[in-house]
A and B are shown apart, each in its own frame.
Chain A
Amino acid sequence: MTPLEILAAAVTGQTAPRIPIFCNLLDQGARELGMSQRDYYASGENVAEGQLRMRARHGYDNVWSLFYVGKEAELLGCREILCCEDGAPNVADFVIKTYDDIARLEIPEDLTAHPAWQETAKCLRILRQEVGATHPICAYLTASTTLPAILMGMDAWLELLLSGPAEVRDELLGKCSLFFQKEVAAYRAAGANVLIYSTPFGAPSFLGMKGFKAFALPWMKRDLEPGGIGGIVYYCGMAPFNSVIEQVLEELQIGAYYISPLADLGEAKAILGARGLTCGVVDDIKLIGWTPGQTRAEVQRLCEIGKPGGHFLLGTGVMPQAVPEANIRAMIEAAFEFGSYP
Chain B
Amino acid sequence: MSRDAIIRAYNEAVFDTDKEAAFEVVNAALSHGMTAEEIVFEVVIPGTEAMMSAITKDPDANLAQHFMTAQIAAEVTEKMLTRFNHPPEVIGRVVLGTAFGDLHSLGKRIVAGCLKALMVEVIDLGVNVPAERFVEEALKHEAQVIAISSMMVHTATGERGCAKVRALLREAGLEGRFKIVVGGAPYRFDEGLYRTVGADNWAADGVAGAKLIAQLIREVKA
Q: Is the CB of B62 within 8 A of A206?
A: yes
Across the interface, name the chain A residue whose C-beta is closest to B186.
A285
Known contacts A82-B101, A82-B103, A82-B128, A87 near B62 by CB under 8 Å: no
What is the bound-complex CA distance between A125 and B157, given in angstroms? 35
CB of A103 within 8 A of chain B?
no
Chain B residues within an 8 Å CB radius of A174: none
B170 at the interface (CB under 8 A from A): no
Q: Please tell me which stretch of B32-40, B41-49, B64-72, B172-180 contacts chain A, meaning at least 4 of its Cβ atoms lie within 8 angstroms of it.
A: B64-72
Are B188 and A288 touching (Cβ within 8 A)? no
Is A153 close to B, CB under 8 A?
Answer: yes
B103, A320: Cβ atoms closer than 8 Å? no
Interface residue from B128, B152, B196 paired with A289 (Cβ < 8 Å): B196
Closest to B62 in A: A208
Contact A162 B62 (CB under 8 A): no
B164 contacts the other chain (Cβ, under 8 Å)? no
Q: A193 interface residue, CB < 8 Å from B? A: no
B62 touches A285 (CB 8 A): no
- Interface stretch (choices B77-85, B104-112, B129-137): B104-112
Residue of A nearest to B157 (CB): A322
Interface residues as binary, A192-217 with B (CB distance below 8 Å gives 1, 0 otherwise): 00000000000011111101000000
Q: Is B17 an interface residue (CB 8 A)?
A: yes
Residues of A within 8 A of B186 (CB): 285
> With an 8 A cutoff between CB atoms, is A43 at the interface?
no
B62, B101, B103, B154: the one contacting A91 at CB < 8 Å is B103
User: A87-B155, A162-B17 known; A285 and B71 CB under 8 Å?
Assistant: no
Is A285 touching B152 in the complex (CB atoms < 8 A)? no
Taking the complex as formed, is B153 at the interface, i.e. its CB lies under 8 A from any CB of chain A? yes
Let me know if A204 and B62 touch, CB within 8 A. Answer: yes
User: Quick check: B189 and A283 within 8 Å, CB to CB?
Assistant: yes
How many angstroms between the C-alpha atoms of A87 and B185 in the bound complex? 15
Chain B count of residues within 8 A CB distance of the other chain:
32
**CA distance in complex: A284, B188 (Å):** 12
The verdict on B169 contacting chain A, using a C-beta distance below 8 Å, is no
Q: Which residues of A contact B154 (CB under 8 A)?
A: 84, 86-88, 320-322
Query: With the chains together, A321 CA to B159 CA distance in Å?
Result: 13
Query: Are A208 and B60 in contact, with the CB atoms below 8 A?
Result: yes
Q: Are A88 and B106 also in contact (CB < 8 A) when A207-B64, A283-B189 are?
A: no
Are A159's CB and B65's CB within 8 A?
A: no
- B193 in contact (CB, < 8 A): yes
List residues of A (194-249) whose CB comes within 8 Å of B's CBs.
Answer: 204-209, 211, 238
Shortest Cβ distance from B43 into chain A, in angstroms? 20
Contact residues in B for A262 (Cβ distance below 8 Å) = 188-189
Residues from chain A with Cβ under 8 Å of B109 in the complex: 155
Known A-B contacts A87-B154, A262-B188, A320-B153; the reply to A163 vs B71 at CB < 8 A is: yes
For B67, the chain A residues whose CB sits under 8 A away are 155, 158-159, 162
Asked whether A154 is an interface residue with its Cβ less than 8 Å from the other chain, the reply is yes
In the bound complex, CA of A108 to CA of B64 (Å): 31
In the complex, the answer to whether B101 meets A84 with C-beta atoms within 8 Å is yes
Query: Residues 83-94 of chain A: 1 if any B CB is under 8 Å from the residue's CB, otherwise 0?
Result: 010111011100
Q: Is B211 an interface residue (CB 8 A)?
A: no
Most chain-A Cβ atoms within 10 A of its Cβ — which of B17, B60, B64, B192? B64
Q: Which residues of A contact B101 (CB under 8 A)?
A: 82, 84, 87
A286 at the interface (CB under 8 A from B): yes
Between B60, B67, B102, the greatest number of chain A beta carbons within 10 A of the residue's beta carbon is seen for B67
> B71 to A159, Cβ gap below 8 A?
yes
Q: Within 8 Å CB of B192, what residues of A?
A: 289
Interface residue A13 (Cβ < 8 Å from any Cβ of B): no
Nearest CB to that of A322 among chain B residues?
B157
Residues of chain A with a CB closer than 8 A to B155's CB: 87
Q: Which residue of B lies closest to A323 (CB)?
A: B153
- A331 to nearest B CB, angstroms? 16
Asked if A261 is at the interface of the complex by the 8 Å CB criterion, the answer is yes
Say yes or no: A322-B62 contact (C-beta < 8 A), given A158-B106, A162-B68, A163-B71. Answer: no
**Can you list 6 pairs linking A and B with CB atoms under 8 Å apart?**
A84-B101, A87-B154, A90-B103, A262-B188, A320-B153, A322-B154
Closest 3 CB pairs of A and B: A87-B154, A285-B189, A320-B153
